[in-house]
Every structure is written in structure tokens, then in C-alpha cells.
Amino acid sequence: MTQAYGELERIFRRLALLGEASGLLQWDMAAVMPEGGAAIRGEQLAELRVVAHETLTHPRVAELLDRAERDEAGTLEGWRRANLREMRRGWRHSNALPADLVAAMSRSVSECEMQWREARKANDFEGLRPRLQRVLDLVVESARIKAAAFGVSPYDALVDEYEPGADAASIQATFDQLAAFLPGMIEEIIARQARGPAILPPRGPFPAGRQRALAEKLMAAVGFDFAHGRLDTSHHPFCGGVPEDVRITTRWDEQDFTRGLMGVLHETGHAMYERGLPAAMRLQPAGAARGMVLHESQSLLVEMQACRSREFVSFLAPLAAEALGGAGPEWGVDNLHRLYTKVSRGLIRVDADEATYPCHVILRFRLERALVAGDMKLVDLPGAWRAGMRELVGIEPPDDRDGCLQDIHWPGGAWGYFPTYTLGALAAAQFFEAAVAAVPAIPDALSRGDFAPLIYWVRQHVHAKASTDSTAAIVEAATGRGLGVDAFRRHLERRYLAR
């Protein structure tokens, strides 16, 4: 290494630590911070982001990048070549924006997130709208600046923040393929399930403490290390923290244990990805998670592919009955599996089954593209949401609480994020299919609560790659083909329509 590249590694290590400190402050804000701390927390986060932005956009960094690319691009070995590429990518995103815009966005997002909590409780979209409009205005301003700098559309500039290289045209093409078969398949699945045995819902209450104890036992089965992470409660489930200190949150429903439990397993998949990133690249851009498509693939690999399989439910059923004081046929494997694989037209994205879930994502993709492009006004969002739900899901929310107020993403500034959920589901299906083909013992291991064979496979083929290659290249190397809808379709047919 020359002096230029070595100095860049030191600078990006500092930036990574600043980003991780911000992440832990955000976890604290979502999980345990009292409401009175919101204003100063917003200032703290804004200041940390400005410091990071000023560090990355200092003229010295541009000079070092130019020198390193000129002197070392062809001679750097292994992951460091990818690291230099990822350094340039991070610099391009930051250098496009002025510091005052970064600070304004951070403050606006913190304020809007806190108000969203109250607005959702009160079903008060109009009360949230002025602050949400401020966030949207700043998002659009940032997107337009980046679009001009990168030579892409504003929406594509936003998507690229969450999934490098993705764009609206390719996402639309994939979603069109899903839309070609999903509506008919959903109708067929619902009709078939209606002809089958009735589901017997286990009856609560299920105390949150008991649910948590069961969840932690299942997290441990997946491989979660409680010496390097913890489980807490928040308004919206998420996974945050850092690889050495992963923070998972969920929300509990004392009348329905299934929602919180699968939420925990979903976030555990995210956590396993973070914990599996290579230590040799720690605190460097190439050592970070590739993007949200792969991140979501890992959460859905655990939750949907593995933990809703009949094999895993046969392991879960007796544990759940014991932990929650259940007895009777509603706690049997067959009934719980029917419960965990029921397809229905629901209002809430995070509670949606895997067949209807893409419809929820397609709706958000359409709406946020229209809002960013200026083709729709924010005041029209509630009505457009209701119309889109009727068209895509076949059900209409009775209020905004279970409509356009249900997600934290837009108040939190995450515009362009939603498509990665469904792209991640497609990748999860491909990964699981490839893993089982390579290691046929995986399903039987899941029936014993043994995730080791599955986790070992994804550690090698996904986690270890970090950001050394593109999502497309990682998926193709692991599965033998590019990301597409075929494996997802086969998965739905096997699980729901096999004779």
C-alpha cells in the first residue's frame, strides 16, 4: 500500500465509528429514550452526521482518492481493491450534498419520527403532514442534487443509497413479472386454504415476558450470540447496533404471540448477517453489508424460508406450548403450520404473508415514486393509499392508522428503501433453494432447531462477501443464476399449492 491508500483506510475507519455511534443513538431513541430527550437527540445526531460529512468531503479525501486510484487501482490485492471502489462510492454520495442540507435532513427526520409515533396513535395524518412535507422536500432536494451529479433520475439516486446499482426501470420490470402471476396465485391459495381444515387460533393472553423468553430461546437456536447483542421493544421492529453489539427490537401483542415471535426471527436474520461480516475488513467500506436487498434476503431466509417451514414448526410447536401454557389441538404442528402459512388480504405490511407482501411493497414503490417526481401531492396520499390497497391487495384500510401512517420509513427519511424488501424475498428464495440443493440435510436439521448447516452455507456464500462485489454477482455466484422471480414462484407453489 502507498501512503495515500493507508491514510484513506484510517479516515474511513473514523467515519465508520462515527456512523456506528449515530446508529446506537438512533436505537436508544427508538427503544428507551424518554420523549423529553427528542430535541437534544436530534441535535446530537445532526452534529455527528455533519462531522462525518465534513470529514468525508474535505478536499484532502478527494486528493487521496485520486492518488490511490492512479497509483494503486491495479496493484491493490484482495478486498482492498473493492475497498477503494467503495470509498469512492461513499465519497460521491456525500460530496454531492452540502453540509447544511445534511444537518437539516437529520433534524427534520428526528422531529418527524417522534411526531409519527403520536400521529399514528391518534390516526392524525393531517397533524403529521407539515413535518412529513418538510422531510419530503429535503429528500427531493437531495435526490435532485445527486441525480444531477450522477446522471440518473432523482428516484434512482435515492434507491442507490439502499441498493447500489439498482434503478426504477429494473425494479419495475421485476415487479411486472410478479404482478403477472401473483394475483391469480393468491386467489388460488386462498380458495384452497378455505377448503382445508379450519385454523384454531391459540387463545391468549400471552404475557410479553413469556413471549420474550421463548423468542430468546429461538434466537439462540438460530445462532444469535447474547454476549454480542440484545432484544428490546420499540414501536416498529428493527435491527441496529454494530456487529459486536447487535440491537434487535420487536413489538408484542398479548393476544397474538405469532406476530412478535416472527418479527424477532426476521430481525435475527439481519443480526446474523451483521455478525457474519468478515472481521478482517471491519470498519472499512468493503466490509459493510452490501445493500438492503441482501440484508432483507437474510432476514427473510430465516423468517420465511426456514422458520415458516413445516420442519421448523415441528420444532417450535412443543416449545411454544410449554412456554405459553398452551394445550389442545390448536398447539399441534399441523394447526400452527397452517396458522403460520395462512394467506389473507391484510392491511399491515409487517404482518403480511409472503404471498401478498409484494403487493404492499409495489404500492409503496408506486406512491413514493409519484411523490418524489411531484406527480402526486402529499395531501392526496391517504386517498391514493386506499385506492392502491383496493387494487393491489383487495382490501381498504378504514383509517390512516392502518393505512399511510403504518410505516416509519417515510417519516424517517428512508425513501427508495421499500423495493428492497421484495427484491430481498426473491433473493432469499434463490439462496434457500441453492443451499438445500448443496446441503440436503438442511430441512431435517431445522426440524431439530439446528440452523448450523444453513447458517454455514450463507456465511460462505453471502456474509463473507460483504461489499467486495455487487449484489448481482453475489447472487449469481451463490445460486448459479441472476436474481429473478422463478425461485420465489417455485417456493410459493411448493409451500401452498403442492398436491
Q: Enumerate the active-site residues.
A: 267
> Cell numbers of 165, please?
446499482
The answer to whether 458 and 431 have CB atoms below 8 angstroms apart is: yes
Neighbours of 161 (CB within 10 A): 18
Give the whole-angstrom CA distance, residue 136 versus residue 271. 30
Report the alpha-carbon angle 415-417-423, nearest 5: 150
> What single string gives the DSSP state of each residue in 55-108?
HHTSHHHHHHHHHHHHHHTTT--THHHHHHHHHHHHHHHHHTS-HHHHHHHHHH
| 492-495 long-range contacts, CB within 8 A, separation 24+ | 492/185, 492/189, 492/354, 492/355, 493/185, 495/308, 495/309, 495/341
Residue environment code for 317-341, b if the CB has 16+ CB neighbours within 10 A, otherwise e: beebbebbebeeeebbbebbbbbbb
Long-range contacts of 399-406 (CB under 8 A, 24+ apart): 399/123, 400/123, 400/124, 400/125, 401/120, 401/121, 401/123, 402/347, 402/348, 403/347, 404/125, 405/116, 405/119, 405/120, 405/123, 405/125, 405/128, 406/120, 406/347, 406/348, 406/349, 406/350
Task: Name the burial class of residue 48, with classes exposed (0-12), middle (13-18) and buried (19+) by CB atoms within 10 angstroms of its CB.
Answer: middle
Q: What is the DSSP string of 128-154?
A: HHHHHHHHHHHHHHHHHHHHHHHTS-H
Strands 229-233 and 245-250: parallel
